[in-house]
Amino acid sequence: MRVLTDATCIRVLCGEKLLIGIGNQLLLVYRSSNGSTLRRIAPLPRLVDKIHGIEACVMKEEQWLVIVHAGRATYSIILDCQSHTFSECALLVIPEEIDLQPVPFIRRRLNDWISRISLLSSTELCIVTAHGVAALLKRGDSNRCLQWDVVDKSPCEDGSTLYCSTITGQQWENVIILSGTALGLLLIWSVDGPNRGKVLTSVSAHNGVIFSISCNFDIGLLTTTSDDRSVKFWNVKLSGNKDSCSRAIELREERYCFAHTARVFQCRILNGEHRTLVASIGEDSHLCLWTVDGDLVLKKRLDEGPTLWSMDYDPTSATIFVTASNGNLHKYCIRHAIDDGDDHCKHKNALTDISPNLQRNEHLAKVKFLNNGYMVAITNHNQVMILDSSGTIVQQLERLDDFKCSIIEIGATYLYLAGGCCVKTYKIGNDQPIHLVGSKNVTFQKSLENEAGFDVKESSIRSLNYCTRSKTVAVCDSHGRCVVFDETLADIVSCHIIPNSPERWLTAFVVLNESLLLMADRSGHLYLFDKLHVEPAFKLTNVHGKLGITAIIVEENCLPSTDVYNLRTTGHDGRICELAVNCSTRTLELLTFSKSVIGWIDRKLVVRGSKTFYLGFNDSHFLVVDDANETFVQFDCGGGHRCWDFFYEPSAAIFTFVFIQHKKLKKVHFTPRNNVGSELTLSRFNWHTRACNVLQVAKHGNSYLLLSGGEDNILRINVLDNGQILEAPRKHLFSHISSVKTILVKRLENGALLMISAGGRAQICLTSIDLDSFRIKQEYEYMLLATDSERSRWKTNRRSTFDPETKFMCAAFLTNDRIVFGCSDGFVRIYQLSTTDGQFSVSLTGETFYGRCILKMISFDIDEKSIFITMATDGYLCFWDASCPTEPIFRHRHHTSGVNAVDVKQIGAGKLVFVTGGDDQSVTVSLLEMKKSNEKLQVRVLKHLSEQYMHTAQVTGLKLLDNDKMISVGVDQRLFVSSFSSYDKLVVESTINTCIADVKGVSFIEEDNEAIVYGCGIEIIQLQGTLINSKMT
């Protein structure tokens, strides 16, 4: 994709065809004859505003008339669905009436922001403006005629600003318009007849802006949504008098429903064969389905953070298509909810009580699934029993009065019950009852008696973990003494000691190969052990914070012949960590991590070798999500603190979840539905969900890496190839705890990249990128004084020399691997980048107080001197000598306020061209000369040019080109290519509108003559070579 920004509207056509408005582009998505999903851009002019509405109707077979509106403009175009081609578009020109006399009030015009359009037929179009003026337009009967003429105009008597409108009716005489205002007022008015322009009903509907209205007069249902997070259901009746041709509206509030946690932007009434549903989407990234009675049927999270703007419904495939603010497109099949007659889609997630019949005052205390689908359960009276899937007792094991079971673990062929210092081993057979095969008293003191200084007395077993890879069992006590047995507990494989920590027993255990194994304790540390040694060979602290690691998964693509194992770990902090074990150096390293929608991840399940599911809890809800973070199952169970277990039957693809609640055994039985619906494959590029603050472009073979960071606190790495952002490969990094403000890139000797990112909370992160394998490693994390957890432990003498809200705003490289940062607290700080045993780190070497928030910074070398220039909120260029940065050696005013953009180019010996853009909306160019005199650097201004009126808002991005040309962009969403050859005026040679809002900057790829504009989205703009003329000269 060349544009990733707000996808504000979508329209479903026939036969797996979609029209989507992404920014100012109209995209056709369709399914080809061979089953692949293809895309085509409609030949619209470069619009100033985003496309906010799409209407379409059939003109003749395989030919559709399409109307789109963006801001004040409306365009018509013809789509041939057989060849998937567009005709040339035509602008709808709406002439204004000329008043010869002065108008004593502000007349509401048709040349206004368009609120809604509706095709009454293939030759009639109704338009409603944002100030309540409705117009009827007609065109000729010819299928090629795109010339529209205004036939009638009807202004509403209420001139309020409309935030949304809905047009009902197929004839102009019967059109009823429903509008919502900023103050929550719902207006229903007629456009023709005796009640022309009259408000039929006006009611205060919401405590805020009304964002959408959906109405179906046939079933008497009307729904509204608002920024008060509600969906309101109304009963509506339309009545008319045939004699007077007048109409009346009866409106009654029925339900006031809440399920969304943020603003609700759209609702739709969906009519099925057996029932009617209401769908709603909004700012919380959720899709909600409601019955007409206001009961919540489904709450589905479709994306991770972006706003869901628009949706449309395809009744053929029972699929809802949804667009998001980051350009993502989603689909969700609701056949199981809207079609009660489909036996395959009935709700099967019913919660049932399968508690067995027990004696009085006896109840289940622990439960766990066996490999055959049966369950082993233990009561509060220490009775061990085997239950079938319905909770019926099929076998009771012999009660042992001297043994109290506290741990249950299931192996491949054995059941382990541990209590005290004893482990009971039971043989599990498919066709024969479970029977006791052995009892083992584990003596930790004897097993580790040769360890000097370890004379702790014998203690009880605190954890027992089974490793499927090696068929071994690790038993551990509360003092960290671990003994690894074979699966029969007959032979000791190895003995180990967990280093001192608050909770030293194991939560996860896996054997890598014949010599190495991994253990994780309850305090969140991960240890690499050699089987021949008691002490760990390597320790990785707090992999998942101070919470325990719940699972260690060895990636299947790791070959036994390699020295490196790739791992994934899950924990109770909601993260999935990627790690690497180097067998030759016997070290562990944390590469990166991703965040899951599950707050408490407990297990990972691989289904049929490819599909990966993660299981866990959010508060009191149990969740099953896949590796794409899509939630498959969610239901209330009380939380993850209780005893529970999970079983998957591969042959029937059935999941079973059991848990103990209120001393009862509960079961949930469900089959994950493959949400197929439409067969279109919709791309998910997952661009930033908030504004992108910084973007760096790095060359990688024939393509480019886009390294970006923004207000969503995420570092994103995407690939740009042939002017298109690829869906894969891509990486997302979650190491920042606040917004990312600046990124630097350094090429390492091994061909990899080192990315230095910094931003809010005075945080610096170092990340290495292996370009060959696209492996990401988070090398180092630094905070100015200490991390939040460390600062919270200060008890006395609390002092801080910096503002805790300090941000690193900008950065530049100096010589000798030094980095200078400009900070929001007015300091200029210099750090030393160093490498020790392959590990990168930064350390503060000096700081200077300037007294203004530093916004931009660049650096260069002049006469073997390292110089850096800072720009702050005072509008000055400040030149600093990096060898002695005590104060600026030269200051030159460029702006009257803050500087938002800068670029510099050296054009000769000691001569540099500086161009800056600022909050004062000006672009300033200076030609400076720098030379040494008496061992001091002197700066002289040769030429100076300041253009005040080129942009109409803050200038946020600049790039210098060859031949005294430059690119500038601003918040006014204009990109200018201008020339300053004579230094007396900036001459604009080209102007391009961009659909990216809140523009933060621009990058330029010289080889392809492409500008990359970023902000609330990203757009790759192909510039004309004749205007740029940077490659050929």
Given 33, 61, 91, the domain boundary residue is: 91
Q: Are 259 and 299 in contact (CB under 8 A)?
A: yes
Mean pLDDT of 78-83: 93
Indicate the helix (H) or strand (E) that contains 221: strand 221-226
- Hey, is 148 helix, strand or coil? strand
Quick: pLDDT tens for 958-1011.
999 988 899 999 999 999 999 998 888 899 999 999 999 999 999 999 999 999
Q: Which two tokens stand for residue 79?
A: 């789509």
Give one DSSP letter per residue of 867-899, joined into a string: EEEEEETT-EEEEEETTSTTS-SEEEE--SS-E
pLDDT on residue 106: 52
Give one DSSP letter per residue of 729-741, joined into a string: S-EEE---SS-EE
58 alpha carbon, distance to own chain's centre: 37
| Domain annotation covers residue 86 | yes
Q: Are 763 and 824 in contact (CB under 8 A)?
A: no
pLDDT over 80 at 242, yes or no? no
Confidence of residue 476 (pLDDT cuts 50, 70, 90): very high
User: What's at 188, amino acid-wise?
Assistant: I
| Domain annotation covers residue 420 | no
Q: Give pTM, 2 decimals.
A: 0.90
Percentage of the residues of the chain whose pLDDT score is greater than 70:
92
Quick: pLDDT tens for 282-311.
999 999 999 999 999 989 989 988 999 999
557 alpha carbon, distance to own chain's centre: 27
Given 31, 66, 91, the domain boundary residue is: 91
pLDDT on residue 982: 83
| Domain annotation covers residue 994 | yes
Quick: pLDDT tens for 880-930.
999 999 999 999 999 999 999 999 998 888 899 999 999 999 999 999 998
Confidence of residue 432 (pLDDT cuts 50, 70, 90): confident
pLDDT on residue 1029: 47
Give one DSSP letter per residue of 171-212, joined into a string: SGGG-EEEEEETTSEEEEEESSSTTBT-EEEEEE--SS-EEE
| Domain annotation covers residue 80 | yes
Quick: pLDDT tens for 858-870.
998 887 889 999 9
pLDDT on residue 399: 79
| Domain annotation covers residue 984 | yes
pLDDT over 50 at 342, yes or no? no
pLDDT on residue 760: 93
Domain that residue 76 falls in: 1-91
Spatial CB neighbours of 995, under 8 Å, sequence gap ≥ 6: 3, 5, 23, 24, 25, 47, 49, 50, 973, 1017, 1019
Given 70, 91, 112, the domain boundary residue is: 91
| Domain annotation covers residue 15 | yes
pLDDT on residue 798: 52
pLDDT on residue 93: 87
Q: Are 155 and 134 in contact (CB under 8 A)?
A: yes
Which has the closest alpha carbon to 956: 997, 913, 1006, 1009? 997
Give one DSSP letter per residue of 296-328, joined into a string: EEEEEE-SSSPPEEEEEEETTTTEEEEEETTS-
Quick: pLDDT tens for 22-51.
999 999 999 998 999 999 999 999 998 999
Q: Write the CATH number for 961.
A: 2.40.10
Domain count, the chain: 2
pLDDT on residue 454: 54
Percentage of the residues of the chain whose pLDDT score is greater than 90:
70
| Domain annotation covers residue 23 | yes
| Domain annotation covers residue 61 | yes
Confidence of residue 546 (pLDDT cuts 50, 70, 90): confident
E strands, 921-979, in order: 923-933, 936-947, 955-960, 965-970, 974-979
User: What's at 741, amino acid-wise?
Assistant: K
Confidence of residue 521 (pLDDT cuts 50, 70, 90): very high
Tell me the pLDDT of the chain averaged across its residues.
89
Mean pLDDT of 618-628: 86
Q: Are 960 and 913 in contact (CB under 8 A)?
A: yes
pLDDT on residue 314: 95
